[in-house]
Structure 1
């Protein structure tokens, strides 16, 4: 297929004052007298003169340069570009009245940029320094987007739930109730607070809210505005599965009145919520392409297979596969840790944990509502906290490695220095193959920890946890801020690590797909959030998932094509059939 060439220079990574400028020195075009690469304060590459030799890419010590060949069909169809040699986006999703439209794709391929354009936060420049609206209208003439863009210029109102809700306490000071009161333009604040279970949060200062409370607050504020279109960027981060389903129902109700577009990585929620889905693909931080709308099941399955038939494009070297494996309870080896029933009281909250054990090579999944003590449970097992009666005795020979739920750092240390300090063997072929390459850590090695995004920091924290020499590993919400591919790779890495090294792993997470992919057994948490939590002893996957899903009142089935789990539509024939048999978890 004929290609045209784009050059992308990462402005943050390019540091001409710290390198020998070999990208400019060795470029054959520059050496012949033409200025294909020019270094001023940052490198600038002429895409017209670039011959695609790749020398500058290989010579750059900071991996700041990417040269990519794209099909000629995309040439001239740029929607937005972030400056000379910056990230470029092709195509846009289309909001549809009366429907929820989903946007699914890897991090860094333009999903948030698309939301910003459609919500009027940024004006598309068509890949140039600037474009006027007449040029933009001409570009989209004959498409469904033309009328939408014209209405955007005419002043339609949009409401946006941003991707990173952690910034809310920095830009708003005061009680959550006051924030919602300012946002409420439709007079439904009490109804929204009830549906999103915010009663215990609205009288508190925004600074003191948890991640899950901030997320629901941001969703409520977005949906309380009187807008013509609603855009929600990553609605499930920090939410437990109960809250995710409540949020999905509220968004579904809003879509009956006004168009809604959501960006989401939780396939279970996207599958249950969206009517149509656009896929984004490309090279993260280099370019992104957004496809035409597809039916949600067809779109998700094409994304997982990595091949888009309508576009005749392969977006991934290999498909994302959901393996159907039999539980290994009978095959598990010796007990690594046995813990008695224990109790923990903390700031008015009480956790009552049943006793249990974890075997060698086993992955124990932990599920349940937020604020029922899951993080407290793993902190006690990790030795970060002590139970009330000191029943959990510390075996000095049992070494543990713990990845906390919330990851924050202001360290100037580079990722390479940080990981090397944990395990000097990190740069060997084994660790590169098993950890660094699958989670794309190699491209982060020269970056400072404090400069990483939430998803990048999460990937580094997962690898750091598994690099430590320990017998027992505890990971609290490893899927947070990760896209679908990264979650799948994380699941594969954790399971392979447990099997190959005979290590034992506890994993707390709200992504049912991830828990289903990696767990041998399950611990189910129940209780009254914020007041009392009760944990089960480890259960078989069937017993544990049946108990968990029955509390949620949802049922699972497997997709015939990809074998991925799917949530049955509530009150559908299959949903009623499985509930009547008490089989909430899929059966064969």
Structure 2
């Protein structure tokens, strides 16, 4: 019988509400085999299941998956979350002196793998429980054997940077410097603070820090602990390009003497930072497979193509394509709104905005260093806060997605979206929003139960569903994986083209900004003290202005055309700077 797994979402499965359709219609049950039965939840026998898929189609809660697997995976289970739960195959391999990256869709086991490598989770080899002797036998002859023995004996100490840094102010109150002093076990506080540009931020309370400052604070705290294994989960969220490169440099220095592993969705930074890459693939929430290590450039390119050459496996129906010349619709002559020059002041910070305009039907990208007032600018346009002179009064309807998204109400996703727009169940909205952003299977889930990436996708759709003239999206790429970022960019772009609505997008993902934007608004100034919002301008002019201030040049990968950061002072870097073309020089 072909190898297959049956997975039942324990939260969605509601036997008392659904009429037990999965049992009622299963042909094997009708012939006397207990393929599907109801205990407190549905239980499916993988040995008896023939993979007909009837229970999957009949389940009104969308709680069941029956998935066929390559036979070579049999016996390679590392961990399974109980009967009919998510199963992980294989593990990434930490390598001392190198940065090992993990790249793959959300929900394919990256966090599970890290929990095992950090000692938080004991692998069960797909059974109810496995002894350490069985685990050692399973990994005998591999590079992981000694590492897992060290985990079992408590000889390996782990330092971990969490994925969701928004929770830090909830668990710690006080000055940022006090937090770092408490974890500084390596005596490197001053050096790390300087390299990460935290000199001003550490003087303030943690609750007053921006997203980028919180991210760098979490990275600093992870580095300052004295450990054998360092794990960084999504280090680039909320960081500008300059900060991302600074963080990459600090992590590379750490990897020279320690074992470092990183999960990251910014391909340009991952390519620059990682020596090796493990790809994860599978069905999100159902199963995940970790590949053997590949060279960073080779692994990233294979992931984008959707075909793993060594494994001879296709992991995606179509490749992720990076277009050299993104087609642009000319910006119309109809101005939707003009905003005046204005200022907004806080204690120790002042934002100055040059007057500008937003055209009807355009997407205006916003880039700049963190703590120069981008989110403040968006909040003024949204009417959340007022400028100093109270000059900004936009006579248009505005829909606003903030930088930090959270579940303010405890209701199902479907109900939440239907309250905003009852037409969400129509074929148009399903095609344009729900399917591309993979929200169809989340409609019965409660907002409080969603992950950061799931909540981000719901927030993007919620913003675009509202009836408005101007749509403001602050960092829509945060917590999204590579495929989700690409789809989010396409959804936003199509929305503006199809509806003629105007959209303003703040983000640090260069490809997302490049893909969606007609024009660019660049922020300059001294982070944390003074910000200047320049007038909107064309994409090439805007990106050259932005990148020249950072001293960074971008190129495209010859094979996939994806964005890549030139290594400082390399031949291409010098050529582009000499030509004054910092952005995709051809």
**TM norm structure 1:** 0.96
Over 3 Å counting, the alpha-carbon distance change for 1:438 and 1:444 in structure 2 is same
- In 2: Cα distance, 1:449 partner to 1:331 partner: 37
Post-superposition, which runs of at least 4 consecutive aligned residues in structure 1 deviate over 6 A?
Answer: none
Q: Which residue of 2 aligns with 1:162?
A: 162
Aligned mate of 2:528, from 530, 555, 567: 530
CA displacement 1:478-503 (0-9 Å, x = unmatched): 00111110000001111111112222
Q: CA deviation at 1:340?
A: 2.2
Q: CA deviation at 1:508?
A: 0.2
Q: Partner of 2:68: helix, strand, or coil?
A: strand
- In 1: Cα distance, 2:81 partner to 2:75 partner: 16
Q: Which residue of 2 aligns with 1:432?
A: 430
Q: CA deviation at 1:105?
A: 0.5
Contact between 2:22 and 2:55, CA under 8 Å: does it hold in 1? yes
Stretch deviating more after TM superposition (81-90 or 208-217) = 208-217
- In 1: Cα distance, 2:585 partner to 2:312 partner: 35
Q: Which residue of 2 aligns with 1:462?
A: 460
Contact between 2:159 and 2:222, CA under 8 Å: does it hold in 1? yes
Over 3 Å counting, the alpha-carbon distance change for 1:578 and 1:55 in structure 2 is same
Q: Which residue of 2 aligns with 1:571?
A: 569
Q: Which residue of 2 aligns with 1:513?
A: 511
Q: CA deviation at 1:169?
A: 3.5
Contact between 2:342 and 2:389, CA under 8 Å: does it hold in 1? yes
Over 3 Å counting, the alpha-carbon distance change for 1:543 and 1:55 in structure 2 is same
- In 2: Cα distance, 1:330 partner to 1:56 partner: 50
Q: Which residue of 2 aligns with 1:218?
A: 218
Residues 1:22 and 2:13 aligned together: no
Contact between 2:403 and 2:475, CA under 8 Å: does it hold in 1? yes
Contact between 1:181 and 1:189, CA under 8 Å: does it hold in 2? yes
Q: Partner of 1:141: helix, strand, or coil?
A: coil
Q: Which residue of 1 aligns with 2:130?
A: 131
Q: Partner of 1:344: helix, strand, or coil?
A: strand
Contact between 2:362 and 2:496, CA under 8 Å: does it hold in 1? yes
Contact between 2:210 and 2:371, CA under 8 Å: does it hold in 1? no
Aligned mate of 1:493, from 484, 491, 496: 491
- In 2: Cα distance, 1:245 partner to 1:61 partner: 47
Q: Which residue of 2 aligns with 1:334?
A: 334
Q: Which residue of 1 aligns with 2:557?
A: 559
Q: Which residue of 1 aligns with 2:195?
A: 195
CA displacement 1:207-248 (0-9 Å, x = unmatched): 443332222222112111222221111111222222222111
Q: Which residue of 2 aligns with 1:47?
A: 46
Q: Which residue of 2 aligns with 1:149?
A: 148
CA RMSD of aligned residues (A): 1.7
Q: Which residue of 1 aligns with 2:538?
A: 540
Q: Which residue of 2 aligns with 1:450?
A: 448
Stretch deviating more after TM superposition (15-24 or 262-271) = 15-24
Q: Partner of 1:202: helix, strand, or coil?
A: helix
Contact between 1:329 and 1:521, CA under 8 Å: does it hold in 2? no
Q: Which residue of 1 aligns with 2:90?
A: 91
Contact between 1:423 and 1:468, CA under 8 Å: does it hold in 2? yes
Over 3 Å counting, the alpha-carbon distance change for 1:440 and 1:326 in structure 2 is closer
Q: Which residue of 2 aligns with 1:37?
A: 36
Contact between 1:176 and 1:201, CA under 8 Å: does it hold in 2? yes
Residues 1:117 and 2:129 aligned together: no
What residue ranges of structure 2 are gaps of 5+ in the alignment?
none
Q: CA deviation at 1:280?
A: 0.6
Q: Partner of 1:102: helix, strand, or coil?
A: strand
Q: CA deviation at 1:256?
A: 1.1
- In 1: Cα distance, 2:393 partner to 2:187 partner: 54
Stretch deviating more after TM superposition (435-444 or 191-200) = 191-200
Residues 1:229 and 2:229 aligned together: yes
CA displacement 1:267-305 (0-9 Å, x = unmatched): 121111111111111111100011111111111111111
Q: CA deviation at 1:530?
A: 2.3
CA displacement 1:508-544 (0-9 Å, x = unmatched): 0011121111111111101122222101111211111
Stretch deviating more after TM superposition (335-344 or 441-450) = 335-344
Q: Partner of 2:106: helix, strand, or coil?
A: coil
Q: CA deviation at 1:439?
A: 0.3
Q: CA deviation at 1:53?
A: 1.5
Contact between 1:411 and 1:448, CA under 8 Å: does it hold in 2? no
